[in-house]
A and B are shown apart, each in its own frame.
Chain A
């Protein structure tokens, strides 16, 4: 929603870069309890904080107990960026996991989500079976490493960036700062 507003109000083009948040998540998924074990994380407080932020944005946010390996979803997302209207897949994947708590590591689930936003089922199947966007996601992970990204979302324009779920004004400020720097060079 904030991103859509930025696009409309500030002529911003979005480039999604995939980041490996929990790349070692096993194929069968992992409970959030296990994931955060020993990390001194108050999951209830974290959920309440995220829910409040999403509510403020008018976005739905559900209860989850599991996390899943997102690698195939990322490869599918990278392919979707090359398809007309494919950017709708990003929102659909976020919704599938954060609202509906679906297993987005499952190829069957991914195919269903791709079809739901009008992407070609045959094209999506080929991406998942032949791993045609494996290198593209590897490049994103490498870029994340080079930039020193440690958390998501991180918003970057040239050499400026902001980290975390930021209010619209913070993203707007980032755009203005980057534009200002561009105009001075």
Chain B
């Protein structure tokens, strides 16, 4: 029983670490937004 709890706890730590890595540091998750740049090369 204790071993199962330890394994479950380890899985939870791994999951949280994976989530932390996916989150941008110091940033806020935002949807991409498209900017049109009207331009010419001359």
Contact = CB atoms under 8 A, between A and B. Distances in A.
A153 B35 contact: no
Contact of A15 (B27, B31, B37): B37
Contacts of A171: 35
Contacts of B37: 3, 14-17, 153-156
Given A10-B30, A175-B33, A77 B38 contact: no
A147 B38 contact: yes
Counting chain A residues whose Cβ lies within 8 A of the other chain, the interface size class is 35 or more
Nearest to A8: B27
Contacts of B41: 70, 73-74, 77, 90, 93-94, 97, 104
A7 to B, nearest CB: 9
Contacts of A19: 38-40
Interface string B9-42: 0000000000000000001001111111111111
Interface in A64-83: 67-68, 70, 73-74, 77
Contacts of A152: 38-40
Which residue of B31, B32, B36, B38 has the most chain A CB atoms within 10 A of its CB atom?
B38
Interface of A: 3, 6, 9-22, 25, 67-68, 70, 73-74, 77, 90, 93-94, 97, 104, 144, 147, 149, 152-157, 171, 174-175, 178-179, 182
- Counting from the closest, the 5 A-B pairs by CB-CB distance are A21-B40, A154-B38, A156-B36, A93-B41, A19-B38
